[in-house]
Amino acid sequence: MSELLKKVNVSIEEIPGLGSFIVVPKGLEQVITDTTSISGVDPRGENTLYRGYTIEDLGMNADFYEAAYLISYGTLPTEEEYKEYRKKVDYWRTRVPEKVYDALKLLPQTHPMYYGAYGALLLGQIYAPEWRLDKDYLYEHQIRLIAQLPVIFAAAYNLAYHGTFLRPEGELSHAHDLLRMITMRDHSELEVRAFESSLILYMDHGFNASTFAVRVVGSTLSDMYSAVAAGIAALKGPLHGGANEEAMKMFLEVKKKASEKGVPMEEYIVEYIKEKLARKERVMGFGHRVYKLKDPRTDVAAEFVRKLKDGETWYKVIKAAEKVMWEAKRIPANIDLYTAILYYQLHIPVPMYTPVFAMGRVVGWTSHYIEQSLDNKLIRPTEKYVGPVGLKYQPMTARR
C-alpha cells in the first residue's frame, strides 16, 4: 500500500501536535475526491461516458435536448419527456427578464466571459433571492440557467460590440437559435448540426476545474446561480476553456504569416510550433490532465470540421500540428484545437469561443450542483502552513 501511495505521490504526514494528514499531489492530479454518476473521463480516451453512453455516440447522434436531458436526469428521454423538456427549454430561452437586458446594455466592451458571470448572478438575484434545496426547485432552476445563460452571452456581446442584438425565437431549436443570436446571420442545417454537436461534446467532463469549482461552491449551500458564476470564472482561464480562443489566435497568426511567406499553412505551422516549444511556451489546444494518448471528442469535431468551409485545408493544418506536437512532446490534441477551427468556419467571433463552451457546460455544471447538493459534504481540504511563525505586531513607526 505505501509503495502505491509513493508511486502516485501521496503520503501520510504526522504534524506534531496537530495529528495525521494525507498529502496529495499538487493540482489534485490522480486524486479521486468523490463519486459521480454524471460523466466519467477515460484516461485511454476510449470510454468517456455521459450516464453510460460514450461521448462520441452522443456527439454524433443525440440532439441538444436529448443530451441535456440525459445528463440532467440520468436517462435518455421518452418521446413525451422529450417534448415536455424541449418546450420548457424553449419557453425559458425566450423569457430572459427585461431587467437583465436593460442591465446588459450598460456593460463595457470586455471579455464576454465577464458578461456570463455577471448575467448568472443577475438571474440569481431575480429568480432565487431565497435559495431552497428541494429537488423539483433545483431542476426548475437548472432549466432556466441552461436556457438563459447562452442568451445573456450572445445579447451582451452583440450589444457591447455592435450596439444591437437579436432576441430569442422559441420556434427554432435551442442550438439553432443560439448560433443565430451569436453570429446574427443564417446558417445551413449542417452548420447548425456541427454547432449542436460541439455543445454536446462540451456538456460535461468529470471533475474538470470549472465543474469542481461549481461543486465547491455548491458544497457551501450557496445557490446554483452563484455556483455557475464560479464555474464561468474558472472556465475563462487559458488552461481550461480559454484554450479554444487561444488556439484560434494561433491559427490566425499562422494563416497570416503563411500567406506573407507564400507557403501552405500546413507547412508553416510546423515551424511555428517548433519555435514556440523552443521558447518553452505552451501550445494551446494540446494536452490534458487526464487524456495522455487521445481526447475522443476530437474525432467527432473532426468529422464536422472536414465537412464545413475549407474543411480539408484546415484538417491538414490540424493534422500537421498534431504530428509535430506528438513527435516533439508526445502530447495529443484536445477538443479545443478542433472547436477553434469549427467555430471559425461557423463565423463565430473569436472572443465568443469560450462562452460557447460555457453554453454547453452549463448543463454539466448544474447537474453536478444538484448531485453535490443532494448528497452534500462541505469541500474543505486542509493545508500545510510553511510560512514564518512567532512574529509579533509592531507599530508602523517601528517597521523597516
Give catalytic residues, as residue numbers.
288, 336
Binding segment (CB under 6 A) for ligand CMC, from list 176-184, 185-193, 279-287, 307-315: 279-287
Residue 120: which residues within 8 A CB-CB, separation 6 or more? 145, 149, 152, 225, 226, 228, 229, 232
For residue 150, state whether it binds ligand CMC (rule: CB under 6 A). Answer: no
Q: State which residue, 285 or 355, has the beta carbon closest to ligand CMC.
A: 285
- Residues counted in the chain: 400
For residue 331, state whether it binds ligand CMC (rule: CB under 6 A). Answer: yes
For residue 288, state whether it binds ligand CMC (rule: CB under 6 A). Answer: yes
Q: State which residue, 157 or 286, has the beta carbon closest to ligand CMC.
A: 286
> Percentages helix, strand, coil for the chain, rounded to the nearest 5?
60, 5, 35
For residue 284, state whether it binds ligand CMC (rule: CB under 6 A). Answer: yes
CB of 77 to ligand CMC, least distance (A): 27
For residue 338, state whether it binds ligand CMC (rule: CB under 6 A). Answer: no
The C-alpha cell at 33 is 475526491
Distance between CA atoms of 110 and 46, rounded to whole angstroms? 39
Q: State which residue, 95 or 282, has the beta carbon closest to ligand CMC.
A: 282
Paired strand residues for 11: 23
CB of 207 to ligand CMC, least distance (A): 11
Q: Residue of minimal CB distance from ligand CMC?
A: 287
Residue pair 37/70 in contact by the 8 Å Cβ criterion: no
Instruction: Find the angle CA(281)-CA(338)-CA(272) to the nearest 5 degrees.
Output: 35
For residue 322, state whether it binds ligand CMC (rule: CB under 6 A). Answer: no
List C-alpha distances in Å: 111 to 119, 136, 296: 13, 34, 29
CB of 135 to ligand CMC, least distance (A): 29
Contact with ligand CMC (CB under 6 A): which of 334, 339, 367, 372?
Answer: 334
Distance between CA atoms of 380 and 370, rounded to whole angstroms? 18
Distance between CA atoms of 105 and 224, rounded to whole angstroms? 24
Paired strand residues for 296: none
CB of 131 to ligand CMC, least distance (A): 28
Query: How many residues bind ligand CMC, per CB under 6 A?
Result: 20
Binding segment (CB under 6 A) for ligand CMC, from list 128-136, 216-224, 282-290, 364-372: 282-290
Site string for ligand CMC, 107-146 (x = CB under 6 A): ----------------------------------------
For residue 249, state whether it binds ligand CMC (rule: CB under 6 A). Answer: no
Distance between CA atoms of 344 and 353, rounded to whole angstroms? 9
Binding segment (CB under 6 A) for ligand CMC, from list 62-70, 179-187, 280-288, 348-356: 280-288
Of the candidates 251, 346, 333, the residue with the CA atom closest to the CA atom of residue 292: 333
Distance between CA atoms of 284 and 237, rounded to whole angstroms? 11
Contact with ligand CMC (CB under 6 A): which of 119, 241, 332, 364?
Answer: 241
Q: State which residue, 66 or 336, has the beta carbon closest to ligand CMC.
A: 336
**Coil, strand or helix at 86:** helix
Binding footprint of ligand CMC on the chain (CB under 6 A): 27, 205, 208, 239-241, 243, 282-289, 329, 331, 334-336
